[in-house]
Amino acid sequence: MRPYRTLFDQFLVRSDPERAHHQAFAAIRAARPVLARWGVPGAPVQAMGLTFPNLLGLAAGFDKNAVGIDALAGLGFGHVEVGTVTGEPQPGNPAPRLFRLPVDRAIVNRMGFNNDGAEVVAHRLAARARKRRESASLDAASARRSVLGINIGKTKVVPEDDQSAVHADYAKSTRLLAPYADYLVVNVSSPNTPGLRSLQSVEKLRPLLEHVRATADSVTRSRVPLLVKIAPDLADEDVLAVADMALAIGLDGIIATNTTIARDGLRSHPHDVAEIGAGGLSGAPLAARALEVMRLLKGRVGDRLTLVGVGGITTVEDARARLEAGADLLQGYSAFIYEGPLWPRRIAAGVAAAQTGGGE
């Protein structure tokens, strides 16, 4: 067993999950000067007109406020997706709101889009951009920089049935954040903002995405790729409907999938699961459905969209299976928590080695 996993299973699993997250993230940010000297694992990937240093990214949710992008990239992630960021700052749902199911290597969260809001995050990203421009220490390794994705969602107080208000809310985030994004993601699939998932219906989703597209184009010099993130709980026919809509409006890609509200097939004791309550489940139990959704999407869109596979990817074999199902890029979150800071390098390098016949 790897040392980190032993440490996690014996000690870290007893700590408060949200407090542990903040402590671990602080340690990662503090280690940035050391991480900056590490080489980039894996092989570059071309997608959406961008060059990704490798195929594995960090899913939205870990760095909600864009405070540790470069440190996280130093761990080996080829792209870092920050957010979900909302138009207005909000505290999220009451604690406790983050839970572990160690037996299932899963996490349940009902964070509720807690974040500093688009204005604060935009100022932070502007400062980062200035610092990068002014830096005289950029070398060849830095040139293979991690790609930055920005994930935007609905402010909780905005009623989901007021289309103009929803569009204005997403447009505010888009205006402020698109200029700093390598790609932009519209999140309509978190289960922790009331009514948000109703925006996944094509009738509501299409005009929203078209509005975000137009807004992004109005504030950027070059076209920023736009993707949508969908839930694994969509019926197959709804997955295909989203795929058709994405093609029709010229979307750049789909991220599949977000967390699930399902609790089927868990090994954890039912009492423990019931005691946690509502929230989105991520981690290993999500793998099978996320794989099914990826196959559905690939069968529908072929090579016309970039497909990002996320949900239950833990091992090199998991990663390869998602790629074989049609994913162009991958993301992780829960496995990063359970497997530790060396996990992204292990996956990126392992997949690259397997693709060139070198094994894991």
Binding-site positions for substrate read: 64, 109-113, 187, 192, 258-259
Strands (E), 105-207: 106-109, 147-153, 183-187
| CB hemisphere CA count around 153 (13 angstroms) | 34
Q: Which of 142, 190, 201, 218 is catalytic?
A: 190
Is position 190 annotated as part of the catalytic site? yes
Annotated binding site: 60-64, 84, 109-113, 151, 187, 192, 229, 257-259, 283, 312, 333-334
Three-state DSSP state, 20? helix
Strands (E), the chain: 45-47, 50-52, 56-58, 79-86, 98-101, 106-109, 147-153, 183-187, 226-230, 253-256, 280-283, 306-310, 329-332
The distance of Cα 169 from the centroid of its chain, to the nearest Å, equals 20
Annotated binding site for FMN: 60-64, 84, 151, 187, 229, 257, 283, 312, 333-334
Kindly state the helix (H) or strand (E) to which residue 272 belongs, with its residue range. Answer: helix 270-276
CA distances from 183 to 122, 161, 169, 174, 206 (A): 15, 27, 19, 11, 18
> Catalytic residue numbers?
190
